[in-house]
Structure 1
Amino acid sequence: MAGIDLVTAKKVEKQVERGTRLKRLREREDSDIARLTERAEIPSQSSSSSSSPVSTTSSPARGFRSQRKKLKQSPSISVKDLNLISTWDREKLSVRQATSTFAATAQVLGMDIGSMAVSKSTVHRARIAGREQAAEKIVELRNQEIPERLVLHWDGKLLPSLSGDMEVRIAVLLTGEDDAEFLLGVPASSDSTGRNVAAVVLKEVDEAGVRDKIIAFCFDTTASNTGMVQGACIRIEQELGRSLLWLACRHHVHEVILKDVFEASLSSSSGPDIGIFKLLRDRWSFVDSSQRETVETSEDLVEFFATNDTASKLKDDALAFLKEALMSKNHPRENYEELLRLSYLFLSGEGPAKPFRRPGALHQARWMAKAIYCLKLQMLKSQLSLTGREKAGVERVALFVALVYCKQWHEAPISVKAPLNDVLFLEILKTYPDQTVAKAAEQALRRHLWYVSEENAGLAFFDSRIDVEEKKQMVKALDKPASKKELKRLEGKKMTTSSSLSSFVTSKTRSFFQKLDADEGFLAKDPALWEEDDRFKDARKRALGLRVVNDAAERGIALVQRYLGSTKSAAQEKYLLQLVHHHRKLVGREKKEDLQKKAF
């Protein structure tokens, strides 16, 4: 007896299925035609009484065919759509999740997934090819949009590798005028020494082909970056063969200041977490945030501000700033707004009944963890078991944050305000009521006077807060001989409270304008007329385009942490990170108008 031909049997079975499918499609089309015929009867009857001649070439069949064509143009989606692939990657969907959501969406749109190639392997292949295709498009867009002058950013962190070992990952980005920002990559480095960091950064720069466009770099003030012999900054300069503007991250500088203030007020912690912050987080479910203690309700603080004119003046100035800042509604991150709101609530007592968010991460590396936690602790300390020393320390930090620090942090990203803000900060600290806190902050700031250096003092020419007479003195100082020392930051001992901005300006400051490739012609005019000069406006735009905070690189590190392990290929990981970074820039997730945008 002959055996059954399984191959032939399967072919026959598929033919039967195909025939059944075609039959269903024909029945659906016939139903659509019948429905259209009913709709067409009314206009055909009314037109019969019209005096206009009826064309003999038209026919119901032609009308039905055109209607059928329209019916076939129903909404459709494809697994190869780059907007779909970029959304899958951004939302970190697995292949299985992407496949099931695609199938469900296709069915909702009326598509017959039985006639489509939909499987995990199909989706996986589409994502692999789509990422590479998207990366090519992103590079094309970058080459079209990239500004002529760029700031180079990088930051590093020790993270698990694909093999399970630990490795240093370096986020490398470019920023420029008009909020331009481009992620080059987050490659691995063998270690965090200046030599290797510089090599990794320059490799990404060369692959992007932007060596000649870089005029500055923004960096965290670690020894591996700022060392004058082996640091990454000096090595990058040497490799590029020219001097760049050194833009130390102002947020990192202010982190150092707050860290020193915290340790002067409360004991330092050798572990990753801080004890009293952990107490607040663990006890949060038992805390009534509507029962808070502010400057207006604390008898001790009411008396303190009533008897101290300096503190009272600082409070009035801080409240005026905080009120204006909160009204702007333009905050790059939620915790920026939270810091402003908590400071205003603490100083004024005005705010919603339950104004506090649940405490977030308290790791010491978090930028504003100390500031936000101390403000919450201060207002809720009566409900927590704190020692007398802890209560006093928390109050010291909270007052410093609300009265002085919050404004400095908020204005840190504004490049042209940097020189004057550092001068004003030191002046405030000299008369600050709590000299233990003030000295800790002052010592930290004096180690980071990057923006009153001879070169970076050029930023102050574009600060509208500086009066005309001071700017005239600054212009005269441009003829003063430069210092013999090639210092990238001012030595702390040379800074006094009586120092004016013109005292930091020398002939070296002209190199600032040269690196911006700005026309210095406006300097020959009276500073009172600068605002009307197009050369001044253009130079100011270029100065404002200098990114003086390294937040972009920090976000690059956070990006690779979130998507670590999403793919086992280094090339695919690079494509994925660039794709997600690009999608985040263009497509929001909060409002309808943001959701309507496309990344490609």
Structure 2
Amino acid sequence: MLANATRSRTELYLIGSSVSELRGSKLPSLRMVLGFFLHLHLELNETIRHSSAAALEQVFEEWRLLKKNKARKSSTQQAREAAFVSRLEDLFDIAHADALNTMSIQEEKDFLLAQREKGRRGSMVGVDETLACKEKRVSEREQQTLKRRQQTENIQQIEATTAELTTSGSEISAAEDVDSEGAVGGSRTQKRKRGRKAVVTPELAAALDRTKVSDRKAVFVIAETAKSLGMTIDQLALNRDSVRRLRAKHRIHSSASIRAKFQSDVPLVVHWDGKLIPDLIGKEKVDRLPVLVSGKEVLQLLTVAKLPSGTGEAQASAVFGAIEDWGIPGNIRAMCFDTRSSNTGRISGACVLLEQQLGKELLSLACRHHIMELVIGAAFRVCYSCERIRVYLKAWISAPLASGAPYSDLLLLKSLLEYLSIHLAISKATSNKFSGNLWYLSPELVGLTFFDSHVSSSTKRLMVSAMQSEDDQEQEHTKRITIDLDSAKNKNLEHFVTAKSAKLFQMMDLSDGFLTVDPDLWEDRHDYGLASETVRSLKVVNDHAERGVALIQEYSGFITQDESQLQFLLQVVNEHRRVYPDSRKQTLSGQP
């Protein structure tokens, strides 16, 4: 009888008994969490607020309401009790709403999804040995770094103390040494003086970084170079630690100098391109995104961002962050990108999200080389079921020319349609693929043709008339047009021009005064010449971003494993390559 009374006092309504700790090979269920909460609240007398979180409070209030009405035997009460009990063995899910996207290990994602199923399918076998080893290595590296830092501080303290004790009275010190030697009847070994002359200049540090010379190898190179020039190594501050510290210091200063000298008041195009490469530490791969800007006499690497994922949102945030960090949001007028869905998606693509973050519309300069690759890829998939093959076409060679992009695209589309008489399948595949990538025939970009010398004056007159027409019908805003292939053969450039074509001049700060005179007179006008120079400077291929990808692939993990130092390193190497494009003596001496 007493046992039954005790059991009834400890038995919790609908739950069973309380638990004093959460453990097991599964993520905690609702029953376990509520039992632990009631242990804290009822047995340890902690307050509800102190012993719970917001999600648990809601469950507790639901349980308390059911308990309050447990005497009722209505069908509604019984249904509520049954529904509550059926959830007790399910996962008490308080994970972040975006937990799956933030996880990088697929096994962890699968385990969380399994635990979210009814009854929490699956369990953890034991300790994650891979993660434990990784954490151990990270801890060991941190301890080694701390130890090196302490050793460096001790050396600096000893050097400072030695410098304070050193006086100009060398004669007194020498006399004392002689007396001491006479007293003990022996000679005292003199401590070798440390070299003080620094040899690692900012220019030398940049050259070592560019050539991927490690700190240890740099000591050998510098030492032998100094000896070949007749210098005494003992006079030099030359050891691995001093070389490492000076190189890191020079990277920081050089990167700051590059940023300080970057003064651009011209319209800029922002470029980016992603790549999955190994992380600095470990064997896991991470998304890297080089971000650059180009313009008239401007080409600058902003950053090579490390992304949590390759989504459009992550890319847009990284690009916007780099633009903000360099203080140039007002200069960005266009964006150059590959035509992947993560970039071009209408809702969650990086392009539309970047425009939203900047609060303005940008010209969409889709990479023309990438477009040509899609077209030729469609042709070879029809012929050979092969996606990789090297070809050279007139359209590929002329792709980097911004002013000729609309005219070149229209000619290529017509040529693909005319290829119908030669090969039906190729004509259909390539024209369909290309018709979905007519970015440069959009109303905003077709105006680039005004600066194309290959287009006749008569066509330009018709384009000016079309742009000034008031019959422009409102259409859904789109960055690329859709065209009926059956009527495309009869289309000319003026058919793509609307009143929206004036946006090109507004967005790029181009003067449009020359449009009021005949096209035959444009070449003699100063405003047309300035606008033409700006258009010619537009980069409509993403080769610069691809070089940024090659840069991070080449230097990631070689010289440094510190993320901030890696960013400084990439800036320094990129600038060194710009200043010294080759290794000729004339170039290295700085002669014109």
Alignment root-mean-square deviation, CA: 2.5
The structure number with the bigger radius of gyration is 2
| Alpha-carbon distance in structure 2 between the residues aligned to 1:110 and 1:543 | 55
Distance 2:539 2:411 in 1: 21
Q: Using the TM superposition, give the Cα deviation of residue 98 of structure 1 relative to its aligned residue in structure 2, in angstroms.
A: 1.2
Are the equivalent residues in 2 in contact too, given 1:79–1:85 (CA < 8 A)?
no
**1:172 maps onto 2:165 in alignment:** no
Match in the other structure for 1:396: none
Q: Give the TM-score taking structure 2 as reference length.
A: 0.65
Letter in 2 for 1:581: N
* Other-structure match for 2:452: 463
- Residues 24-43 of structure 1 correspond to what in structure 2 (within 5 A)? none
- Kept in 1: contact 2:288–2:307 (CA 8 A): yes
Q: Distance in 1 between matches of 2:530 and 2:238?
A: 54
Match of 1:264 among 371, 382, 385: 382
For the pair 1:14 / 2:196, whether they are aligned, the reply is no
Change in CA separation of 1:12 and 1:493 when aligned onto 2, cut-off 3 Å: farther
**Map of 1:407 onto structure 2:** 394
Q: Within 5 A, what are the aligned runs for 1:302-321?
A: none
Identify if the C-alpha distance between structure 1 residues 11 and 183 changes in structure 2 by more than 3 Å, giving closer, same or farther.
Answer: farther
Alpha carbons of structure 1 residues 189 and 563: separation in structure 2 relative to 1, 3 Å: same
Cα distance between partner residues in 1 of 2:375 and 2:187? 76
How many residues are paired up? 402
Question: How far apart, CA to CA, are the structure 2 residues paired with 1:444 and 1:417?
Answer: 20
In structure 2, the residue matched to 1:426 is: 413
- Tell me the CA shift for residue 116 of structure 1: 1.2
Question: What letter is aligned with 1:477?
Answer: A
Give the SS at the match of 1:13. coil
Whole-Å separation in 1 of the counterparts to 2:398 and 2:314? 33
Q: Distance in 2 between matches of 1:121 and 1:9?
A: 39
Query: Residues of 2 paired with 1:518 and 1:444: CA distance?
Result: 33
Q: Specify the alignment match of 1:26 in structure 2.
A: none
Partner of 2:534: 542
> Residue type matched to 1:558 in 2?
A
Structure 1 residue runs without a partner (length 5+): 22-76, 270-363, 365-369, 372-400
Supply the distance in 1 between the matched residues of 2:580 and 2:530 (Cα, whole angstroms). 30
Q: Does 1:516 align with 2:508?
A: yes
Give the equivalent residue in structure 1 for 2:25.
none
- TM-fit CA distance, 1:215: 0.4
The residue type equivalent to 2:293 in the other structure is L
**TM-score w.r.t. length of structure 1:** 0.64
Letter in 2 for 1:152: V
Question: What one-letter code is carried by the residue in structure 1 that aligns with 2:290?
Answer: A
2:425 to 429, 436, 440: 436
Q: Which runs of 5+ in 2 are unaligned?
A: 1-179
Instruction: For 2:423 and 2:380, locate their aligned partners in 1 and report how far apart those are by CA, in whole Å.
Output: 13
Aligned to 2:161: none
Partner Cα separation in structure 1 for residue 360 and residue 536 of structure 2: 22
Other structure's SS at 1:184 match = strand
Aligned mate of 2:220, from 77, 80, 100: 100
SS at match of 1:185: strand
Greater fraction helix? 1
The 5 A counterparts of 1:570-589 are 570-589=563-582
User: Which residue pairs with 1:252 in the alignment?
Assistant: 370
Q: 2:519 aligns with which of 527, 542, 547?
A: 527
Partner of 2:204: 84
589-598 or 448-457, which deviates more:
589-598
- 1:486 aligns with 477
Judge conservation of contact 1:482–1:508 (CA < 8 Å) in 2: no
Partners of 1:417 and 1:584 in 2: how far apart? 30
Aligned partners of 1:465 and 1:92: how far apart in 2? 46
Q: Distance in 2 between matches of 1:549 and 1:125?
A: 39
Q: Deviations over 1:196-237 (max 9, x none)?
A: 111111111111110010000001101111111111111111
Question: Hey, what's the Cα distance between the residues in 2 that align with 1:215 and 1:547?
Answer: 12
Relative contact order higher in (CA < 8 Å, ≥ 6 apart): 1
Q: Is the 8 A contact 2:199 2:236 kept in 1?
A: no
- Looking at structure 2, the residues matched to 88 and 498 of structure 1 have their Cα atoms a distance apart, in angstroms, of 59
Q: Percent identity between the aligned chains?
A: 36
Aligned mates of 1:537, 1:231 — CA distance in 2: 36
Q: After TM superposition, give the deviation of residue 176 of structure 1 in Å.
A: 0.5
> Given the alignment of the two structures, is residue 217 of structure 1 paired with residue 335 of structure 2, yes or no?
yes
Specify the code of the residue in structure 2 equivalent to 1:162. Answer: L
